[in-house]
Structure formats: C-alpha cells, structure tokens
Amino acid sequence: MTDLVFIVKPGGALCGHLRVPGDKSISHRAIMFGALAEGTTTITGFLEGEDCLATLRAFRAMGVRIDGPDHGRVIVQGVGLHGLHASAEPLDMGNSGTSMRLMSGLLAGQSFHTVLTGDASLTRRPMRRVTEPLALMGAQIDASERGTAPLRIHGGQHLRGIDYALPVASAQVKSCLLLAGLYAEGMTRVTEPAPTRDHTERMLEGFGYPLRREGDRSVAVMGGGCLTGTAIDVPADISSAAFFLVGASIAPGSDLLLEHVGVNPTRTGVIDILQLMGADIDILNPRLAGGEPVADLRVRSAPLRGIRIPEHLVPLAIDEFPALFIAAACAEGETVLTGAAELRVKESDRIQVMADGLSVLGIAAQPTPDGIVIQGGALAGGTIDSHGDHRIAMSFAMAALRAGGPIRIQDCANVNTSFPGFVALARSGGLAVAESTV
C-alpha cells in the first residue's frame, strides 16, 4: 500500500490572504437535512473532502438525487422525512465518525434495514454512546461485541421521545438523538453537561423545523414535523483555519488573513485558548452567512505563554487540540490540559499520538488519562507517525515553522478527509511543505 508522506522544511512565515475549505460539520448536515426536506436545497461552499463525500454517496445510495459537487456547489432534491429507500449495499462512511453517528439516529426511524460500515479507524471508534440512548427510544441496532461498527440498524421500529442527559459533552451524540427525534412519538430532549457545537439546531431552524432551546445546554424536538428545502452557504471551517492560526502565531514575521471563517460561538474555543496564550488574533467584519456567524481572522506572530486550559473551553475546541499542542510546544512555560478524555477516542488516540510526536521533536509532553502536560521548548526535526489522523498530520506540518530541522510526517492520505488541497494552500501561504509517496 502506498504511503503519502509530508516533508516540511524548517522555518518561514505565513503571510497573505487564504480561504480554507468549507466547514465539515455544516457540510455533512446540509446534505442530510437537504435529503430529508421537501423541495430543493442548494448548497454553496460544500467541503469536497472524503468524509463529506461519504455522506453524499450514502444518500445517493438511498435514492436521493444530488447534483454536484461542482466547485463547492451541490443541489439536493429532497425526498421528505419518509422518502428514503433501502440501499442495496452497506453504507460505507469511510473515516467519518460524524457520518456514522448522525446517520445512526436518522436511520433508526426508517422502515428499512441498513448496515453502516467504515474504514479500519472508524470501525474501532466507540458507538455505544449512540446505540444505547437510541435503544431507549425503541431503536434496534446490532454492533460488534466491542460496541463498534459495522452497525446493523433494523427498520420498522416505533421510536418514542426520551429525556436524555448526555454523560459526555458530544455534538455528534446530541445531533444523533435529535435526528432520531424527528421520527419519534412525542418530545425528545437532550441535555448536555457543557455546551457543544449547535450546527444541528441552527440548521433545523433554517429548514423550518421547530425546536425548543432551554438555556444553553438543553434542546428538544417534537416528532412528526416537516423540513423545507432552503439555501445553505457553508463558511470556511474553523477547524481547518486552526492550523494556520497556530502556524502564524508561532512563526516570526507572520501576518495572515483567513477569510470567511465560521465563528459560531460553540466552535471558537481555539481562538479563546490562543488569545489566553498571548496570540494576536483580530476578528474582522463579523456577519451572518446562512444563519451561521462568519468573520475574517487576522493573525500575526506573537510570543506565546503556557497556560492551564480552562475546562469549559474544552468542548468548544475538541477538534483543534492537536494544533493547540503545537502552540503549547512553542510557548514559554508549561501548558496543562485536563477534561479532554474524548481526545483518546478520535481518529487516533490524539493525546498519546501527539505526545509521542512531540517527544520525537525534543519536547517534554506527559500524557494523563484526560489530558496532557506540555513543557514549551526548542523543536528539533524528525520523523512523525500520524497514525492516519488528518489533524495530527497537519499540526506537525505547522510545527516545522519553528523546528531546527526538516519534519517528515508519515501516513498522511487521510488529510483529504477534511482538507483537500492542504499542501497547495499551505505552500501559497509560506509553508515549505511537499508531498511524497513511498
């Protein structure tokens, strides 16, 4: 099997104007809700990465007409909440945990049976967090003995609304249950221990489906409603922008403008954490795009300092921590993260894999059960195993801006799941990165 390797020369700065690809979370949901709506949904800015394309292919396999993507433009001819048909084959979600968890809720209320599967990484990720509450609603889903995919979802079940308190803050589990709630009798209410991204709630409202928000930690839907097709403008993904926010912060002489970035307040933890560390980030021209707040982000290099990361910010930056660990490695003093055990069950064990990689580069990084302690210092060059995790690979690419030698990053093919064109865009901004196949 061919391995895609990133080779990044040390030094440089990030400058100019860049627009990173569309938001992955919003792109997934736009396809899902567009398919379940009555009428046509037009999507612009759609992320043409492998994860979102897996979602798109799944709905095509269930009989939905979808035109595109063509330069980020997708047109979905909705079939309504009850218009999907059984796929002749298992639905392959690739590397996408978002697809599998949200689709589990959506498919639990269908009249037909479905099998959800994925790649080697996805079939190791925990799914009981969705299958167990769905079972409380009346769903019947078979998983492996370890509670992992493939998931066999039995159709024709009568779903009932439940009042569910999430044991762990998770937008994916919340969204899964809300999607199942569209098909359930009565009210489905989900309460979180801490606020998480609210793209599902915003999009439900955008498609005209009533929901009830109760404070910032509880949301409820009543089954039996209707979604109406609409237009969705997907902003640039703050999770993808995060690599450049960190890179420009740590590389002397950097001055970078990131355009049209989604700044939903449930997603801006990365900005808050970097600013606490001393980063120079300006939020410019705030506006709304399709119901989602967006802005241009100007970031200039600044000396960073180690901090104890506030636990209330952890759910608001859960996908950005690999990049933030690079910032911590370049900061003066110690950075301490707690309350982030969720990082151990992402595409990789991101706590352990990042600690191993930082150690290769000469940084003291001590994993803990729910976080890490990083002592800032001088980065050396070295060879990093990304373990097929796209965010690990891109984070260590940015580390080269401050490294004493080249950084070679192995197993980078999955970068295309979230950030197609990463190498070309990063090179245009000033990162000396190249691809190699071995």
**Rounded to 10 degrees, what is the CA torsion of 409, 415, 420, 423?**
-10
Instruction: Indicate the burial class of 369 (C-beta count within 10 angstroms; 0-12, 13-18, 19 or more).
Output: exposed
Q: How far is Cα 388 from Cα 94, in angstroms, rounded to an integer?
A: 13
| Inter-residue contact 15 to 230 (CB < 8 Å) | no
Q: Which residues are part of the catalytic machinery?
A: 319
Q: In the β-sheet with 231-233, what is the strand arrangement from edge to edge?
A: 65-70, 73-79, 38-44, 231-233
365 — phi, psi (to 5°)?
-135, 115
The angle, 0 to 180 degrees and rounded to 10, between the axes of the packed helices 238-250 and 390-399 is 20
Tokens of 360: 């290769």
b/e code 193-231 from CB counts within 10 Å (16+ = b): ebbbbbbbbbbbebbebebeeeeebebbbbbeeebebbe
